[in-house]
A and B are shown apart, each in its own frame.
Chain A
Amino acid sequence: MSTDKLLSVHNLCVELSTAQGRIRPVDDVSIDLRRGEVMGLVGESGSGKSLTCRALMGLLPGNVTSNVTAALEVDGEHIDISSTKALRRIRGREIAMIFQNPSSYLDPLMPVWRQIAEPLLSREGLGRGEARAQAVALMRKVGIPDPPNNARAYPHQLSGGMKQRVMIAAALACKPKVLIADEPTTALDVTVQMQILRLLLDLRKESGLSIILVTHDLAVVSMVCDSVNVMYCGRIVEHGERNDVLGTPAHPYTKALLSSEPSLLGEGEELKAISGQLPPLNKLPSGCRYRSRCEFVLERCADQDPELRAVHGAHLAACLRCEELAGRNEALA
């Protein structure tokens, strides 16, 4: 993993018009992705992690009145995020995305090789034979058995894991530099989940692919990611290298997530649930958004909305008490 920045997005804001007024499900999010890095984007439903990724790709639902602003740079080149044309150019070529439920994202009426080769046929202008050959090669690369025969298969003839591999192959067709994986393994069996995660890591090793892995599962993050961003209510509340964030969490929300995940519990530890619920986006509390559920809340948390600040080196957290909280932990490892 090199240190140069492949993808850099700063102050990403997505504003939506809803029946309840204008809301900001993504509020001032900044991400710097290095070449060859696997970055975890963690949060529960409603945290804004999926919308963040879709905004980067220009894939927000079309019927929604939205306003997206950001400073976006891909591989050193500045991209105008409000221009659909600019985003369409980088989509697939520079940044590709795979989704949670492969069944919904594959065309049931098209054989899989065509779905993988489609960008090759249309954008790269390849002939049918060549495109198909490349599709078969991609299928082999992602571990689909017997590619020449399975190329003719239709999605419904394949299992869940196979379909996800097809999606990955399709995403890789134009050799993107960044792959955004939005909960790619949530709908899969655990043993298949491991296969797909392994595949993503192998792809990173082979071609230096950078990956943004969106997930609600901290366990997956702990196995696969180099760095972690924790999101809450549209904001990034903690950021850093994986061992720092998971070992010595500095934000109360991260700590709460860690202690409510049964597979990350130590011996004899109790599960601690997070009380309360996500505040509605059109009625956010004053000051810190997390304070109504926070076990470390102070009075002054209602006055300030904390910014991300350094706890230790590149480990950042948006909490007034972050240094104190990080110091309080024994490392979990």
Chain B
Amino acid sequence: MKPLLEVDHLVVEYPLQRGMASWLQRKGARGLLAVNGVSLSIPKGHAVGVVGESGCGKSTLGRAMLGLEKASEGTVGFDAKALGRLSAGELTAFRRRAQMIFQDPVGALNPRLSVRQMLSEVIRVHRIRERADEEHYVKELAAKVGLSEDLLDRKPRSLSGGQCQRVGIARALATGAEFLVADEPTSALDVSVQAQIMNLFKRLKEELDLTLLFISHDLGVVRYLCDTVLVMYLGRIVERGPAERVFADPKHPYTRALMASIPHVGETTSDLPKPVKGEPPSPINPPTGCPFHPRCDRAFEDCKRAPFPEERVLENGTVACHLYSSQRPRPKGRGLR
């Protein structure tokens, strides 16, 4: 079955303002590579989780997949059409089908509009319903996301974080979106509200057969919702695979480090795992070779000198690490296997 989304060697580069010093030193003209050669495909109805720490490029990837960031190289394809080459009409049609849910639920809403006004605007601009049916549809949307009707005339400042996030989801679904990019949608919420929103995502995914790209630094959240997991580090995918496998048996040293930072119940304080050293590097000055080598406890000579390792296919996903270079290289096609 043709995947709904296909990303092919995507690069998103931000030009850097270089000072005089680096101009004089003739430093390379490359800017900041927020996304550095990512390829993936998502079948319909699938939930893909993207995990990584600050600077890994997961947010930029999400935005690029909605056409909100320009691809410097590579393509993003939605339903077999490349985003960069859509006509204005096709782009509007795409916008109806693919939407974003934001990290700051309150900031994602126009402070001067009420919930009803926000939803009505979307309905009217895209002519989703006739004027007469608008009211009814707004109520339907509110019910679908568990938002009580008496909140419809409130403005964002009178709503809680969780309620604002529900409004954001309702707004995205108003156009009939099939693909949602959720960029850390629960990070700004309290634990109990997080659970509500996650259950909402789970329910909507099942009811509406939604395709999800779920970006989060919270591994527990990703594990709960996603079928597949991509682990990103400094703009690249270092490991991918079915969620259960990646969590149970991480292959890449970085993935192992991430998994070690999720607590397991029943540990005593003396069991605290040895933390990985160093901090997530800045994409402005990436390390040579494999960017994880300064922090990796299994690094060897090649890791510093050889270029970034290619993704190798294993039985259950891929991993990009020199430790596995003896495996057969990745076939030309994309996909998860």
B262 and A189 contacting across the interface, CB-CB below 8 Å: no
Alpha-carbon distance A262/B280, docked complex (angstroms): 24
Min CB distance, A294 to chain B, in Å? Answer: 13
Binary interface encoding of chain B residues 237-281 relative to chain A, with 1 for a CB under 8 A from any of its CBs, else 0: 000000000000000000001101111011101001111110110
Alpha-carbon distance A38/B272, docked complex (angstroms): 14
Alpha-carbon distance A226/B267, docked complex (angstroms): 11
Binary interface encoding of chain B residues 209-231 relative to chain A, with 1 for a CB under 8 A from any of its CBs, else 0: 00000000111110110000000
Residues of chain B lying within 8 A (CB to CB) of residue A260? 191-192, 194-195
What size tier do the contact residues of chain A reach?
35 or more
A262 and B217 contacting across the interface, CB-CB below 8 Å: no
Is A305's CB within 8 Å of the partner chain B? no
Alpha-carbon distance A271/B224, docked complex (angstroms): 8
B220 and A261 contacting across the interface, CB-CB below 8 Å: yes
A191 and B275 contacting across the interface, CB-CB below 8 Å: yes
Closest to B274 in A: A198
A262-B224, A263-B219 known; A332 and B265 CB under 8 Å? Answer: yes
A44-B191, A198-B272, A198-B275 known; A190 and B219 CB under 8 Å? Answer: yes
B266 and A262 contacting across the interface, CB-CB below 8 Å: no
Interface residues of B in 67-114 (CB under 8 A from A): none
Alpha-carbon distance A224/B261, docked complex (angstroms): 12
Min CB distance, B185 to chain A, in Å? Answer: 13
B191 and A189 contacting across the interface, CB-CB below 8 Å: no
B interface, over-half SS? loop
Give the one of B219, B257, B258, B263 with max A CB within 10 A: B263
Alpha-carbon distance A271/B267, docked complex (angstroms): 21
A261 and B257 contacting across the interface, CB-CB below 8 Å: no
Alpha-carbon distance A192/B279, docked complex (angstroms): 6
Closest to B266 in A: A333
Residues of chain A lying within 8 A (CB to CB) of residue B277? 195
Is A264's CB within 8 Å of the partner chain B? yes
A159-B279, A198-B272 known; A256 and B192 CB under 8 Å? Answer: yes
- Identify A44's interface contact among B190, B199, B279, CB under 8 A: B190
Could you tell me which B residues sit within 8 Å of A by CB distance?
Answer: 53-54, 160, 190-196, 198-199, 217-221, 223-224, 257-258, 260-263, 265-267, 269, 272-277, 279-280
Please name 8 further chain A to chain B contacts, defined as beta carbons within 8 Å, in addition to the given A190-B258, A263-B219, sorted by A numbering.
A190-B261, A191-B258, A191-B279, A219-B262, A225-B269, A262-B224, A265-B220, A274-B196
List the 10 closest pairs (A to B, CB-CB), nearest first.
Answer: A333-B266, A263-B220, A262-B220, A260-B195, A194-B275, A274-B192, A273-B196, A189-B53, A273-B195, A219-B263
